[in-house]
Amino acid sequence: MSNRISRAAVLGAGVMGSGIAAHLANAGIPCLLLDIVPPKPGEGDKVGSKAFRNKFAASAVANMKKQKPAPLFTTAALSLIEVGNFDDDLSRIADCDWVVEVVKEDMAVKRALFARVEPHLKAGAIISSNTSGLSIKGMLEGRGPAFKKSFLVTHFFVAG
């Protein structure tokens, strides 16, 4: 196991997830920001396009440019954040040393995502949940020994 984080993934592109992605980019760590595929297309949306499928993560990155105070130290840090979605890009977390889950505070949602994440984690990767109070034991239900050994809870505070 490496103790250096060379690449990370943030699963959830809401305010907290996008803020964590910005912190990682500010530290010079390339990261993958993933979210769900939008469930309800709008009129004229091309549902098969990457632009539509990555809409939530791409919108989060676009919002970083407008926020005051700015979450990024430099505009160059934006180039360290790649966007995607859980359906098309989850396998890309296999290249990450740290995967941070930042989805809805709902045990069933977190468990379902961890079940999808586990087969893609590389050996020795850290997996964390940015939960504010859900049971660690509950989140780990159904996960294998390697996942459990690499799991921890983080709690970032992002100004917004």
Active centre residues (catalytic): 155
Which among 151, 76, 149, 75 has a CA at the least distance from the CA of 113?
151
| DSSP SS3 for 143 | coil
Which among 111, 57, 117, 103 has a CA at the least distance from the CA of 84?
57
What distances in angstroms separate CA 99 from CA 48, 120, 128, 140, one per listed residue? 26, 11, 6, 15
How far, in Å, CA of 38 to CA of 49, rounded?
A: 12
Neighbours of 148 (CB within 10 A): 13
